[in-house]
Amino acid sequence: MGRVTERAKRFVETHNWNNEESKIAYEKLLKDYEKLEKRSDKIFEVSDKQYEEINKQNKILELVSKQLSKYIPPQLYNSVFDGQKEISVTSRRRKLTIFFSDIVNFTSTTEYLESEDLTNMLNGYLTEMSNIALKYGGTIDKFIGDAIMIFFGDPETDGFKQDAINCVSMAIEMQRKMEDIRNHLSDSGIVKPFNIRIGITTGYVTVGNFGSNDRMDYTIIGNYVNLASRLESKAEKNKILISEETYSLIKDEITCIRKDEILVKGISYPIQTYEVIGFKKDIQDKVININSDGIKLKVDFSKLQNRDEVIKELRGVLTKLNE
């Protein structure tokens, strides 16, 4: 019983009523108020239970959404849960920069490992690579065993030029991170080489939700997806091989050397490839300059193009020196 009702009852009991009709009317009003108060209490009780249930459901939804966020790219997750993106079987054409990587000779490198060690090693590697991808704004499409597919330019973009720079910058940092991973694996007793190769290209693909109304996959399709995969398979271990389309977008900031042309199914013309060397700001001072009796040598890594030919010539010099 509320304080207002208690005070009203004391008032009825203690008041000197000169008019009996007024007392009866007041008592009737008090009874009506008591009924209303009881109904209000029930409503509040139901509301509290509903609030507790809603709060419980919200906690369950929050837990489920956190688990779900591990299965889809963060950019897509945010746009879906913010209500910005409609979930439907739709697609569109976009100019994207596409990344593929895998571990060189993965089966032979890991065949002697127990399943638990293999799982821990692979998950640790994929976690490190994913953290770097998210740092540069990449959309992680999928993991295919030890292979990783990432693209830049959807659902968020910094413009296709910056997307390409972000992608190649990500790849460079991944290769650098691999040095730490190799050292860690060596300290853990895994002595076989653990190397990755990377392929990157830029071009128009179809991106969106593919599948049925009940189950969809947010991904990309097109010839440039196949090209990125082909570049990755052609890359040397611990190297990054890119197409000319990507090179044209990054060449002002990142040094590359010209490599061979390759043919790719679905593309009628040869693809000129380039190998990424590093950021120009990091290698612009890397010049070897030897000038002494009998030898004069200058190598400017920022301008070096035909690396294989230089290596061949230097090996010939070493052979003669050892004769």
State whether 274 and 293 are in the same domain.
no
Averaged pLDDT, groups of 10, the chain, 323 residues long: 66 69 74 76 72 74 67 67 60 94 87 84 93 95 93 94 97 94 82 88 92 82 95 95 97 93 88 93 67 73 68 80 75
The number of distinct structural domains making up the chain is 3
- Which residue matches tokens 């679905």? 266
pLDDT, residue 34, reads 74
Q: What DSSP line would sit under 33-54, residue for residue?
A: HHHHHHHHHHHHHHHHHHHHHH
In whole angstroms, give the CA distance from residue 86 to residue 216: 12
State whether 153 and 130 are in the same domain.
yes
3-class secondary-structure state, position 261: strand
What distance, in Å, lies between the first and last C-alpha atoms of the chain?
109
State whether 136 and 273 are in the same domain.
yes
State whether 100 and 51 are in the same domain.
no
Q: Is residue 76 part of a domain?
A: no
pLDDT, residue 188, reads 77
pTM for the whole structure: 0.69
Question: Around 279, how many Cα atoms within 13 Å sit in the side-chain half-sphere?
Answer: 11
Distances (CA, A) of 221 to 69, 100, 203, 256: 23, 14, 11, 27
pLDDT, residue 190, reads 75
pLDDT, residue 4, reads 64
> In the chain, what is the greatest distance between 2 CA atoms, to the nearest angstrom?
134
Quote the tokens at residue 238: 């611990």
pLDDT, residue 296, reads 77
State whether 245 and 300 are in the same domain.
no
Q: What DSSP line would sit under 205-253, residue for residue?
A: EEEEEEE-SS-EEEEEESHHHHHHHHHHHHSPTT-EEEEHHHHHHHTTT
State whether 52 and 102 are in the same domain.
no
State whether 41 and 14 are in the same domain.
yes
**Which H or E element spans position 168?**
helix 160-187
Number of Cβ atoms within 10 Å of the Cβ of 203? 20
Do 200 and 172 form a contact (C-beta atoms < 8 A)?
Answer: no
State whether 207 and 254 are in the same domain.
yes
pLDDT, residue 322, reads 77
State whether 127 and 255 are in the same domain.
yes
**CA-based torsion, 200, 205, 208, 210: positive or negative:** negative
Number of Cβ atoms within 10 Å of the Cβ of 229? 19
Quote the tokens at residue 256: 């590359």
Do 264 and 249 form a contact (C-beta atoms < 8 A)?
Answer: no
Residues 6+ apart with CB under 8 A from 302: 255, 280, 283, 284, 286, 287
Quote the tokens at residue 241: 């091989």
Q: Is residue 81 part of a domain?
A: no
State whether 180 and 229 are in the same domain.
yes
Domain enclosing residue 149, as ranges: 87-283
State whether 40 and 99 are in the same domain.
no
